[in-house]
Amino acid sequence: MSVADMRVEHPTEPRSSEQRPEQQMIDIPWWRGAVTYQIYPRSFLDTDGDGVGDLPGIIDRLDYVASLGVDAIWIAPFFKSPMADFGYDIADYRDVDPLFGTLEDFDHLLAKAHRLGLKVMIDQVLSHTSMEHEWFRQSRASRDNSKSDWYVWADAREDGSAPNNWLSLFGGSAWQWEPRRGQYYLHNFLAAQPDLNFHNPQVQAAALDNVRFWLDRGVDGTRLDAINFCFHDQQLRDNPPKPKEKRTGRGFSPDNPYAFQYHYYNNTQPENLAFLAELRALMDGYTDVAALGEISSEDSLATMAEYTSDHRLHMGYSFELLTDDFSAAHIRDTVQMLESKMTQGWPCWAISNHDVERVLTRWGRGKSSAQLANLLTAMVCSLRGSVCVYQGEELGLTEADVPYEALQDPYGIAFWPQFKGRDGCRTPMPWTDGDHAGFSNGRPWLPVPEEHRALAVNEQEAQPTSVLNGFRTFMHWRKAQPALRWGDIRFVDTAEPVLAFTRSLDGQTVLVIFNLSSDSVAILLPLPTGSLQILEGHGLAQGQRDGDQLVLPAYGAWFAQVG
């Protein structure tokens, strides 16, 4: 065991309650400090036997979701789509794809969720559409029709090559030749996902009208996919090259040329700020709704701060904790950096989602365990901000090893074997240890890994010490801790592998200490021991205090109220 002295850091002056109205315990919006459970519909529950999850499947399992102690659900796209990118290529923003059900199914889902006390957020993909969308069909037909300027079109260079050097996140040029117009169109993602031209006010109005359609239907919020990609540089300037040592990013294959550039001109343009203000004005016309923006830029923390200030988005969502770096220093530095920049907004954190390797594999480094799963949930849900947890996280699911012949993700197929894509985190939810893990009566769209059967919901329900029951215990305990939900955060300087901080609200201060390693650790407590009252009931492996020293077991935690 190692002993590390600790001291409280003060990277910025603590904000007073007058500066932080969210800390007042009256009229706190539901989304501040909320835990939102992300549902990937294709992989949640299939009720019609076609091997793909659907909206009736979500309805069937809403009682289970409510039992977890979460506050809301976020449903990934279920709109009409040719499914080139599994719903993130939308052909009709106002209807449900028959693969998932009907608009009536969605209305039933919304009503049941609300009866259970769950808020409902849906994905809105504003920056691009499917090439099967009627807007694009019209736009590509000619250069002088009513939708001709609704997408980003550009002439070829003199030698016939693409207008500039912009690259698609999925590899290769971000430009696709369209012979009907004799021009290139921009696609920051797949060629089947053409980018809308948000410099056209008609496009902005149409996008806002689509958001209005779902708000009128009663949704409680929107998760805005790739929201910093709405605008492009109108001069179409080349992106500058990035040095080899800085070519990193979430989900990138080592061979993906996307990492070779600074993406200064194909996204995150200043014109987006005015559009976000218009979006917020729209949402302010509804009661208690929220906009959560997915942000991935060259400086995502700075963009999060900018996009959530001056009455723009309610929350920002980025990828800094979706990387491979599992260390106290990385978590502390990331949160402190955001705290120093985000003086007005509200963050949202996640350690797993449908685009990255599952956290138990990514951060477990071959040592995944129930203790680690419980620790990771408690850690991310103790940071200042709201939280998104991804389906299966409450079961301690690891990344599935999907063989090449079973791959569905075009990203993984293109970059195999250096990068296997996103299918490994998208395999079906294991509800039982029976055929197809209780997900479907037919052949699932992705195979269910054998190791997930032992982690099925029915198996874990019967085990008091399971990851599932540990997740529930912590979530319900957290609801009774106002400081963890809404308080300020101040970090304690610790040696690896210990992460420590305080959360303070209206005179209550909670000291939080986590051991991020698979070995026990001893530390010196940073505050007078007489002022610390141990908080129990969270269900984690509890540290033991001996005078001024605290011994934390492997993946252990310690919560104590100060004073």
Backbone CA torsion sign across 198, 202, 204, 209: negative
Question: 3-state class of 278 per DSSP?
Answer: helix
Amino acid in position 546 = D
Annotated catalytic residue, options 294, 320, 399, 488: 294
CA–CA gap between residue 331 and residue 333 (Å, rounded): 6
Cβ pair 275, 204 in contact under 8 A? yes
Cβ pair 71, 426 in contact under 8 A? no
CA–CA gap between residue 155 and residue 165 (Å, rounded): 14
Cβ pair 311, 286 in contact under 8 A? no
Structure tokens at 71: 């506050």
Place of tokens 């040719």: 82
Place of tokens 């801790």: 481
Cβ pair 41, 514 in contact under 8 A? no
Structure tokens at 275: 């559009």
Give the DSSP letter of residue 287: S
Q: Strands, DSSP E only, in 381-471?
A: 386-390
CA–CA gap between residue 263 and residue 232 (Å, rounded): 10
CA–CA gap between residue 323 and residue 339 (Å, rounded): 19
Q: What is the 3-state secondary structure (H, E, C) of 208-243?
A: HHHHHHHHHHCCCEEEEECHHHCCCCCCCCCCCECC
Question: 3-state class of 63 per DSSP?
Answer: helix
Residues with Cβ within 8 Å of 469's Cβ and at least 6 positions away in sequence, in order, are: 460, 461, 463, 539
Structure tokens at 155: 């002439």
Specify whether 195 is catalytic.
no
- Residue 18's Cβ-count burial label (10 Å; 0-12, 13-18, 19+) is exposed
- Residue 333's Cβ-count burial label (10 Å; 0-12, 13-18, 19+) is middle
Annotated catalytic residue, options 71, 105, 178, 225: 225
CA–CA gap between residue 386 and residue 34 (Å, rounded): 5
In angstroms, the Cα distances linking 458 to 69, 292, 429, 453, 463 are 18, 33, 12, 10, 9
Q: Provide the CB-side half-sphere exposure for 478 (13 A, CA).
A: 30
Question: 3-state class of 418 per DSSP?
Answer: coil
Q: Provide the CB-side half-sphere exposure for 220 (13 A, CA).
A: 21
CA–CA gap between residue 76 and residue 124 (Å, rounded): 9
Cβ pair 516, 498 in contact under 8 A? yes
Specify whether 245 is catalytic.
no
CA–CA gap between residue 461 and residue 248 (Å, rounded): 40
CA–CA gap between residue 28 and residue 505 (Å, rounded): 13
List the catalytic residues: 225, 294
